[in-house]
Amino acid sequence: MEQGKLCLIIWCLVSCTPFDTRGQKITDENQAIQFLREVSDQAEIVRYHSVMANWIYNTNITDYNEQKMLEASSVLAEFDKEARHNASLFDISGFDEDTIRQFEFLLYIGSAALSSEDKLEYDTIISKMKRTYSTAKVCGRPGHNPSECFSLEPDLTRILADSRDYDELLWCWEGWRDEAGKPTRDDYTQFVELANKAAKANDEKFDDFGDYLRYSYDVDDLQADVLRLYAQLEPLYKKLHAYVRRRLYQHYGDDKIDVKGPIPAHLLGNMWAQQWNNILDLVEPFPGKPTVDVTDRLQELGYTAERMFEISEDFFVDLGLAATPESFWNESMIVKPDDGREVVCHASAWDFYNKEDFRIKQCTDITMQSLITVHHEMGHVQYFLQYKDQPVVYRGGANHGFHEAVGDVLALSVSTPEHLQTIGLLDVIGDDEESDLNYLMSQALKKIVFLPFGLIMDLWRWDVYAGKITPQNYNAKWWELRTKYQGIAPSVPRSEEDFDPAAKYHTNSNTPYIRYFVSYIIQFQFHKALCELAGQGDVPLHRCDIHQSQAAGAKLADMLKLGKSKPWPEAMHALTGSRQMDAQPLMDYFQPLIDWLDEENGKNGDTLGWDPTSGSQTEHPKVNLIMATVLFVLGIMIYR
């Protein structure tokens, strides 16, 4: 639709809104309900155009497409502003609970609350940062043609996962930060100012943009809640960390790894060290047992991206959940284009708000990691499908963590060796305790390892929005958190010339991250509830597979259908019987591994935790030891 028609919709929204001629607020609830219906119908159209323009830009990054996207975004912002203004003409205090809830969602409109000039600047900065990130390439790989350059997906991701060459890994790690992080420092500083302005423009009660973002979780103090949850889980992380550090020490040697210090950040198989499953071969408790990683098998069998999506679709449909429409398969971008187009490769799922167009954009690689991401994205699409008939204001997850959890919950079943065998991706599986521990280790490297990273991304940003972290210490504070929570350290010097938080997609694209931390906790609550419904209450949680359980599928669908029409504790209660985030199911899932780690760390005499100052960026542990010896001898001489 052209701009003209969209303007007509906005005009209609303004002038068609019933109002009281005496200038008093409208108290007639029927009028209010009619208004909400109209806003939702029109929002479908305006949003469709904005999402479409976004899609076109994200799947073909050009100046022209960027311009079109910015235009559509400004039309949407005007629409949201008008809707907010018109909603404010009603006195909602006497309305039914559901009517009030819908009105309240119209009041908070994020960056759309900015003036049109500021909004354009805000969108332009984000689009620029995203573009820098998505088009970044790293050149000069040791031993390669200097003009050969590598993109994050798939090249650098694969190098980080597969290489065991310390220096090559470091080149990859540092190069990515030079190309994707460093250049966006000034843009980010400007973005923060505008984001805080947007928070205030929504409601003076918001202290800053972080405060505004946390508001959607509808709890008194989200930061306190997540820190409390993490305090419960930190001991598990430290046990795993100590064990992995010992294994890396055995592999890389004492000149590279300090058994009492943080782990070098580039050795963990992932660009951000957010999941360590790619180094399973180095840390497997019982090598020689049948593998639980199906990457090789997927490649041997000639799997395609499409086949991987079909596997996922089948799992959803077999639970009695919704199938994706034909257009999903025709319009999605599930392979990185090889026609020279630049695209945003970071995987995402798209709701076009017209009840029929749903897509995924993913540069699918033929690996187990990618197969899990396929399920993750399909989980988003399943949520879209289930709540598509809700009014637009309710088309979202009960909270953002719920949206992130759906696909992951199913993937917990799909990843079990038994299930992978059923679908022909594992030939042999071990049925002894040692194989079980190998499997739990591979899961822990994804799930437990993620927790501190999932936490610090927003701990850092919340403090930036609050002005507690400033451009003068952006990077230093980032590394303080990385070391404090993740127990990792950079192996090359970092300074305020660098901007490492922006070497992560979600910083440049302004995607909040605490949703993933929440998801990684609640997905185990959901998994446990679904396993009980599937009649697997007696099976250890980590071996439960809800495949084909209609009972589990139906209860999950009931929760998803709600969208955000009810407060999230209610949605959670309907499925799990609990109204709170609870770390216990996650701890139960990993209990056998935790017991084993206790024993193993004990045998090695390892102490948990790390001295943040040892193994620092520039000095090697061996050098520290020599220095300490020299100082000790000097001390004795002086003392004498």
Of 404, 489, 520, 552, which one is the catalytic site residue?
A: 404
Residue from 346, 419, 527, 542 carrying the catalytic annotation: 346
- Least Cβ distance, residue 103 to ligand X8Z (angstroms): 29
Cα Rg, the chain, nearest whole Å: 26
Is 347 annotated in the active site? yes
DSSP conformational letter for 21: T
The one-letter amino acid code at 587 reads M
Among 77, 343, 344, 347, binds ligand X8Z (CB under 6 A): 347
- Which of 278, 373, 413, 510 binds ligand X8Z (CB under 6 A)? It is 373
Rounded to 10 degrees, the C-alpha dihedral 253/256/258/264 comes to: -130
- The DSSP letter of residue 142 is T
What residues between 204 and 223 interact with ligand X8Z by CB under 6 A? none
Q: Rounded to whole angstroms, how far apart are CA atoms 229 and 580?
A: 11
Which CB, 211 or 404, lies closer to Zn ion?
404
Q: Which of 332, 348, 370, 438 binds ligand X8Z (CB under 6 A)?
A: 348
Closest CA to 180 of 500, 632, 561, 425: 500
Rounding to the nearest 10 degrees, give the CA dihedral for residues 49, 557, 347, 463.
90
Annotate each residue in 509-528 with x if it binds ligand X8Z (CB under 6 A) or - if it does not, as one string: -------x------------
Residue nearer to ligand X8Z on the CB measure, 250 or 509: 509
The verdict on 359 binding ligand X8Z (CB under 6 A) reads: no
The candidate with the shortest Cα–Cα distance to 568, out of 399, 403, 409, 406, is 399
Whether 133 is catalytic is no
Q: Where are the alpha helices (DSSP H) in 259-388?
A: 280-283, 295-300, 305-318, 326-331, 368-386
The residue of the chain with the least Cβ separation from ligand X8Z equals: 347
> Which among 284-292, 328-336, 367-375, 404-412 is the span making contact with Zn ion, rule CB under 5 A?
404-412
Least CB distance from residue 273 to ligand X8Z, whole Å?
A: 12
# of chain residues touching ligand X8Z (CB under 6 A): 5
Residue 346 bears catalytic tag: yes
Picked from ligand X8Z, Zn ion, none, the partner binding residue 600 (CB below 5 to 8 A depending on kind) is none
Of 52, 505, 100, residue with least CA distance to 271? 505
Residue 251 annotated in active site? no
Verify whether residue 404 is a known catalytic residue: yes
Tokens of 284: 């497997």
Q: Where are the alpha helices (DSSP H) in 59-115?
A: 63-87, 97-107
Among candidate residues 506, 527, 542, 547, the one labeled active-site is 506
Q: How far is the CB of 24 from Zn ion (least distance, A)?
A: 45
Q: How far apart are CA 573 and CA 148, in angstroms?
A: 54
- Distance in angstroms (rounded) separating the CA atoms of residues 320 and 326: 18
* 277 or 348: CB nearest ligand X8Z: 348
Our CB check for Zn ion shows the closer of 77 and 271 to be 271
Q: Residue 373: name its binding partner from ligand X8Z, Zn ion, none (Cβ under 5 to 8 Å by kind).
A: ligand X8Z
Query: What is the end-to-end Cα distance of the chain in Å, rounded?
Result: 89
- Distance in angstroms (rounded) separating the CA atoms of residues 552 and 527: 10
CA distance 286 to 237: 20
Distance in Å, CB of 373 to ligand X8Z, minimum: 5
Nearer to Zn ion, 404 or 532 (CB): 404
The binding site for ligand X8Z (CB under 6 A) comprises: 347-348, 373, 376, 516
**Positions marked active-site:** 346-347, 376-377, 380, 404, 506, 516
The binding site for Zn ion (CB under 5 A) comprises: 404
